[in-house]
Amino acid sequence: MDVKVSPVKAMYSKRYILPAVTLVFSVFSVWLYSQPSASSQVEVGQLWLGQVNQGALALEVTGFGVLESKVQRFLTAANEAVIEEILLKPGAVVTPDSVILTMSNPGIGQALVQAELALKAEKGKLKQLVLTQEREMLDANNQQAELRLDLDVVKARFEAETKLANSGIVTQLTLLETQAQVNKLSGRLANSQQRLAQLTRLHQQSLQIQKEQIDEKQSLLALAKDRMARLQVKAGIDGVLQALPVELGQSVSVGSQLALVGGTDELIAVVQVPQRDVQGMMPGMQASIDTRGGVAEGEVRLIDPVVKEGNVEVEIALTGTLPDNARPSLNVEARIRLGTLPDALYIKAPVNVAQHSRHQVFKVDDERHTAELTWLEFGAKSGQFIEIKAGAARDQRFILSDMRQYAEQSHISLN
């Protein structure tokens, strides 16, 4: 039986089948075009090539950081005050007497005036005390002199009456009365001498107490002067002003940070080294510090055990002559020498290859103008070079460029 097809249905089928086939073909073509061929053609001029070398490989680690002062002086506010004038800015070269900034505090000035007046008053008391003691000593000496004179007169009378009494001219009673006067005046003179000695000691003690009062007031005055002098913030050492975290008109309290001064006599380099490069680094290793104005030799002094943002802080003491531009806060590059591999195979490090790893790299065949994907085992890295432990021989060439887009191919053709 013949089945009749409606012309309308036939037209309908042709209308939709043709676009569908076209769409599938287009998608397939795009996919096929996006896939690398079994042997992709690559221009050699667009590639970065490297050759395997053999020999001594100096192991170096590079770090970047700044120079810091080994001797630093952190200046803080000794009193509450207001920043009145800023005379120097960070980076300025300073001497011990260089005034960085000045501050004001009316209370400190008033305390200084009061301390000066108090000292002057105590010195006035000392002068008055000395005058009083001189007068007392003068009276005591006059009184003693009178007693000594009276005693001499009575003694002379007693000697005369003693002779007259032997002749019967003076009675024994009169002689006894004169003897009593001699004894009485002798006693008074002895007492006067004791009182004079005691008065001398009392005067010395009074003077000592008054002098201590003066010393106390002098100490308070010196303290007031020191507080006044501290309103002028001086560097205190030869060096460079590194930081000034205050502004004009700012109020500061006791202990507030005012300035940081770093000495220029002794500098250290504080550099950041990637954590992966610290392996094998030890204190005492030699380093060179590039200041962009010269190179100074150094020695690793401290390796911080804490890792921050993938880096380790390394402190290097500068041991050689410093370049003329060396100063605190200067950006520097450090090269730390970890040692030497005496007979190593090495090549410039390919892109995205880390030390002590295993990675696939295209080996160049110059005769066939091709490159074959080869496994290489890498060792230590030194600057732009990296050690090859296995998978390569001397003078072989490899593609160092980023070849991840050809990772699914074992061979590529080189034009």
Locate CATH 1.10.287.1490 in the chain.
107-229
Model confidence at 124, pLDDT cuts 50, 70, 90, reads very high
* Arithmetic mean of pLDDT, 200-206: 92
> For the chain, how far is it from start to end, CA to CA, in angstroms?
66
Q: Is 311 in contact with 275 (CB distance < 8 Å)?
A: yes
Buried b (16+ CB within 10 A) or exposed e, 316-355: bbbeeebbeebbbebebbbbbbbeebeebbbbbbbeebee
| Sequence ranges of the chain with CATH classification 2.40.30.170 | 40-67+266-414
Tell me: pLDDT of 100 over 50: yes
Averaged confidence pLDDT in the chain = 86
CATH architecture of 107-229: Orthogonal Bundle (1.10)
What distance in Å separates the CA atoms of residue 79 and residue 278, rounded to the nearest whole number? 46
Confidence band, pLDDT 50/70/90 cuts, at residue 246 = very high
Q: What is the mean pLDDT of residues 234-245?
A: 90
pLDDT for residue 18: 53
Q: d(Cα 143, Cα 153) in Å, to the nearest integer?
A: 16
**Arithmetic mean of pLDDT, 113-133:** 94
- 277 or 223, higher pLDDT: 223
pTM check: above 0.75: no
Identify whether the C-beta of residue 306 lies closer than 8 Å to the C-beta of residue 356. Answer: no
Q: Where in the chain do CATH 2.40.50.100 domains reside?
A: 79-102+234-263
pLDDT of residue 361: 94
- For position 38, what pLDDT does the model report? 46
Which one is predicted more confidently, 282 or 9? 282
Q: DSSP readout, 131-166?
A: HHHHHHHHHHHHHHHHHHHHHHHHHHHHHHHHHHHH
Chain segment 335-375, per-residue pLDDT in tens: 999 888 899 999 999 998 988 899 999 999 988 899 999 99
Q: Which two tokens stand for residue 98?
A: 């260089």
Which CATH number describes the domain made up of 40-67+266-414? 2.40.30.170
Query: To the nearest whole percent, how much of the chain has pLDDT over 90?
Result: 53
Tens-place pLDDT, residues 43-55? 888 899 999 999 9
Contact indicator for 241, 96 with CB cutoff of 8 Å = no
Average pLDDT over residues 321-326: 86
CATH class of the domain defined by 79-102+234-263: mainly beta
Tell me which H or E stretch contains 221. helix 172-229
Q: Is pLDDT larger for residue 29 or for residue 41?
A: 41
pLDDT digits (tens, 9 = 90+) for 104-116: 999 999 999 999 9
Instruction: Sort strands 370-382 and 385-390 into parallel, antiparallel or unpaired.
Output: antiparallel
